Amino acid sequence: MRKVGVSMFDLSSKYYDVIYSFKDYEQEAQQVRQYIKRQGKDYRTVLDVACGTAEHAFFLKQHYTIDGIDLNPEFVSIAKSKNPDGHYSVADMTRFRLDRKYDVILCLFSSIGYVKTLDLLVQTLTQFKEHLNEDGVILVEPWLTPDVWTTGRVDTIVTERRGIHMSRMSHSDREGDISIMRFEYLFGSEHGIEHYTEEHRLGLFTVKELIEAFQEAGLRVEHDPKGLIGRGMYIARNVK
């Protein structure tokens, strides 16, 4: 058995779709469409920020023209293969510049938490606003709030996809307003068993802090406490 320590998402880019095969991306994409439809506009173009491997885009691409950015080059490569008509690029959501604007900007699966600080949160939302058409909408699925984050929690997930079996155990910790998740993975296939470790750090923002960050970025925002999977959703538009 081989053990490897990796940095954030280095492992996940290889096995990401196996790890999250339990996640119902098709259902979530339908929910995203409902959020978009409720705006009452004929939206056609979407930018998927922190797009990962484009699993949401795979189910949304029949309805919209979707582009994406992600910090991980391997994710971008996988995303291109799933949505060949989209334009995907490697970019940091806190400081990206594209040559077009969009009707809808998505930032899902709590990716916004990776900005870690309130200053970078405002900077990121400002980038979103600068890439949004005048009557467009921004949908941000948040990470957990400080009051619900529990240190010392252990969770286990077991799943299988295309002949690869995965077992993941996680342990939660905290440093100030930064949540820490340490993962231990076992992947088994006909080629043997691999053992990896991974650590993720995400900022813990209150609802009030998030709303104020949107406002500071020049956006009007509504908060839906339920969202796609119970973590909530922020729906923002340009201030008029």
Per-residue pLDDT of 193-206, as tens digits, reads 999 999 999 999 99
Give the span between the Cα atoms of 147 and 204, in whole angstroms. 9
Based on the fold, state whether residues 121 and 220 are members of the same structural domain.
Answer: yes
pLDDT at 11: 58
Domain extent for 156: 146-203
Domain assignment present for 28 = yes
Question: Quick check: is 5 in a domain?
Answer: no
User: Are 88 and 79 a contacting pair, CB within 8 Å?
Assistant: yes
Asked whether residue 222 carries a pLDDT value surpassing 80, the answer given is yes
Given this model, what pLDDT does residue 76 score?
A: 96
Q: Within this chain, do residues 47 and 131 fall inside the same structural domain, yes or no?
A: yes
Query: Is residue 14 situated within a structural domain?
Result: no
Pairing of strands 102-107, 45-49: parallel
6 within a domain of the structure (yes/no)? no
Residue 133 lies in a domain: yes
Cα separation, 204 vs 117, whole angstroms: 9
Number of domains in the chain: 2
Q: Is residue 15 part of a domain?
A: no
Comparing 12-16, 89-93, 117-121, 154-158, the range with the smallest average pLDDT is 12-16
How much is the pLDDT for 132? 98
Same domain, 60 and 121: yes
**Sign of the CA dihedral with 5 first, then 9, 14, and 18 last:** positive
What is the reported pTM?
0.94
Same domain, 60 and 33: yes
Query: Which has the higher per-residue pLDDT, 7 or 92?
Result: 92
73 and 168, same domain (yes or no): no
pLDDT value at residue 6: 43
If asked whether residues 38 and 98 sit together in one domain, one would say yes
Query: Which is more confidently placed, 22 or 213?
Result: 213
Question: Domain for residue 155, yes or no?
Answer: yes
**112 and 62 within one domain:** yes
Contacts of 112 (CB under 8 A, 6+ apart): 50, 121, 124, 140, 141, 142, 143
Average pLDDT, rounded, for the chain: 94
Confidence of residue 12 (pLDDT cuts 50, 70, 90): low
CA distance 126 to 219: 9
Looking at the fold, whether 214 and 126 belong to one and the same domain comes out as: yes
Domain shared by 114 and 168, yes or no: no
Domain co-membership, 57 together with 80: yes
Do 64 and 170 share a domain, yes or no?
no
